[in-house]
């Protein structure tokens, strides 16, 4: 999917239209949540907060971490985020009890 977006950009797709396409992809309920979807979420966030970059500058850094230009974003589903928060809370509480 990212390569298809890059092809559109290479053929003159405007930043505004790229943002609109990414918003549709991110909001689409039937879209399978996978690495491409995570990259689209990170790319959209980057475009909204940092500025323009080519989709080719978006890659999987490791696991659920996506790299866009020089920025890294951890993209999680609600369930993944809840689990990560619970794990962090357990580790923090355990650390306090051990001190």
Q: Is 68 exposed, middle or buried (0-12, 13-18, 19+ CB in 10 A)?
A: buried
> Domain spans of the chain?
2-98
Q: Is 82 exposed, middle or buried (0-12, 13-18, 19+ CB in 10 A)?
A: exposed
- For the stretch 11-43, pLDDT in tens is 888 888 989 998 988 887 655 668 888 888 999
* pTM over cut 0.85: no
- For the stretch 45-88, pLDDT in tens is 999 998 888 888 888 888 889 999 989 999 988 898 999 888 88
The confidence score (pLDDT) of residue 78 equals: 87
């Amino acid at each position: 999917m990212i390569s298809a977006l890059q092809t559109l950009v290479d053929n003159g797709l405007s930043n505004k239209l790229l943002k609109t396409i990414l918003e549709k992809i991110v909001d689409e309920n039937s879209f399978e949540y996978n690495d491409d979807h995570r990259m689209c979420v990170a790319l959209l966030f980057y475009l909204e907060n940092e500025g323009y970059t080519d989709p080719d500058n978006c890659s999987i850094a490791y696991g659920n971490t996506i790299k866009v230009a020089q920025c890294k974003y951890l993209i999680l589903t609600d369930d993944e985020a809840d689990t990560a928060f619970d794990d962090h809370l357990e580790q923090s509480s355990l650390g306090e009890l051990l001190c």
